[in-house]
Amino acid sequence: MSVSLPWHEAQSQVLLTRLRENRFPHALLLTGRPGLGKHVFSGKLAEVLLCLERHADGSACGKCRGCQLYRARTHPDLHEVNVLEDKKFIGVDQIRAISDYLSLKSQFGGYKIVIISPADKMNINAANSLLKTLEEPPMWSLLILVTAHPASLPPTIRSRCQQLSFVTPPKEVARAWLKEQGRNGDDLDLALGLSGGAPLAALAVATGDWLERRQQIFEGFEKVLLNKADPITTAAEWLKFDARATIYWLYSWITDMIRLRTGNDSERIINGDIGSRLQQLSGVLTPQSWFKCLDEASDAWRYAESQVNTPLLFENLLVAWANRK
């Protein structure tokens, strides 16, 4: 299989060997933090398996009918399941459609591929109705489950899949790839740091107005902690930002401040660009209090995934932090 992204080499080799030895699994669970290109990998894998004239090195030919339809995203033997636009979860009807789809033979006589991404967005009913299919799929079926949070999948699902994990590539590889995408300059390291080393996420950080938004949120955060702004007003201002991204930033600043405050591994600071301001701010609370804040932020992260009242969530955090001394 040709490598889709430079840091997928190992994973590609594993699957390619299994394909050659006719030991290909019926269900794969692709795991790893967001921004590592798991979804790109699943698509590439589908393309290779659906190619009718695969090259000897395992790459897709790009010319046959299979490749043509794959590229038009109309291949009849590929079925993708995502969260529908107006929904928060993958529902049971979408999973039942998979069973119906797999019960019929394939169009081209090869693999029937189903990609579920993100798999952790299946609600409990959906996950349960997938079990039967996952346990005994018809011949020539391949289910690819993509998730950044494998722990939130039921263990019954995890145990029925072969897990393939993706890890953060070395910094040089990531930097080289980002340069290939036309990104230059000093902000590459910062972008990589902010996205935990995940290149695709770093690219999004570097291209979007993330940094600007982060700056705005940070100023609010700083003022609230220094009692220069009203927590309720600040919470209301934050509503225009994505709740999960906001909480992620909060989490990363608090982690950095704990590192700065305790003096341990200060070289692992994520938000290097605002290091001095963080250093100053870290003096506001004791390390114990910062750890408490960290717990609250991580709880908030979990809540933000569910049906939560976002204004209340922000107010709750900020009021607690402003009053903690």
Partner 1 sequence: MKFTINREALLKPLQAVAGVVERRQTLPILSNVLISVKGKTLSMTATDLEVEMVTHSMLNADETGDITLPARKFLDICRALPDQAKIELIAEQERAVVRSGKSRFVLATLPVKDFPNLGAIKGAYEFNVPQKALKRVIERTQFAMAQQDVRYYLNGLMLELGKNRIRVVATDGHRLALCDLEADLTGADQQQVIIPRKGVVELARLLDDVETPVAVSLGSNHIRFTTDTLSFTSKLVDGRFPDYQHVVPQGGSNIVIAERDPLKQALVRASILSNEKYRSISFQMSKGSVRILARNPEQEEAEEEVAVDYKGKGLDIGFNASYMLDALSAVTTEQVRLSMTDANSCCLVEGVGDTSCKYVVMPMRL
Among residues 69 and 274, whose Cβ is nearest to partner 1? 69
Burial of 167 (0-12, 13-18, 19+ CB in 10 A): middle
Contacting partner 1 (CB under 8 A), which of 102, 145, 174, 194? 102
**Residue 17: how many other CB atoms lie within 10 Å:** 13
Contacting partner 1 (CB under 8 A), which of 21, 85, 86, 100? 100
Closest separation in Å from C-beta 74 to partner 1 = 5
Q: Using a CB cutoff of 8 Å and minimum separation of 24, what contacts does 172-178 make?
A: 173/6, 173/7, 174/7, 174/199, 174/202, 176/6, 177/5, 177/6, 177/7, 178/202, 178/203, 178/206
Q: Is 128 in the site for partner 1 (CB under 8 A)?
A: no
Contacting partner 1 (CB under 8 A), which of 87, 88, 105, 302? 105
Closest separation in Å from C-beta 311 to partner 1 = 36
**In 3-state terms, what secondary structure has residue 223?**
helix
Contacting partner 1 (CB under 8 A), which of 10, 14, 61, 104? 104
Q: How many residues bind partner 1 (CB under 8 A)?
A: 20
**In 3-state terms, what secondary structure has residue 258?**
helix
Q: Which stretch binds partner 1 (CB under 8 A): 33-41, 46-54, 102-110, 158-166?
A: 102-110
Residue 146, token pair as written in the block = 């993509």
Say which amino acid occupies 219. Answer: E
Contacting partner 1 (CB under 8 A), which of 138, 196, 275, 311? 138
- Within residues 67-96, the interface with partner 1 by CB under 8 A covers 68-69, 72-76
The number of residues in the chain equals 325
Q: Is 188 in the site for partner 1 (CB under 8 A)?
A: no
Among residues 24 and 140, whose Cβ is nearest to partner 1? 140
Among residues 99 and 163, whose Cβ is nearest to partner 1? 99
Q: Is 109 in the site for partner 1 (CB under 8 A)?
A: yes
CA separation for the pair 302, 307 (Å, rounded) = 10
Cα–chain-centroid distance for residue 131?
23
Contacting partner 1 (CB under 8 A), which of 59, 107, 163, 279? 107
CA separation for the pair 46, 78 (Å, rounded) = 7
CA separation for the pair 191, 187 (Å, rounded) = 6
Residue 190, token pair as written in the block = 């910062």
Among residues 139 and 239, whose Cβ is nearest to partner 1? 139
Q: Is 52 in the site for partner 1 (CB under 8 A)?
A: no
Please report, as ranges, the residues that interact with partner 1 according to CB under 8 A: 68-69, 72-76, 99-100, 102-107, 109, 132, 138-140
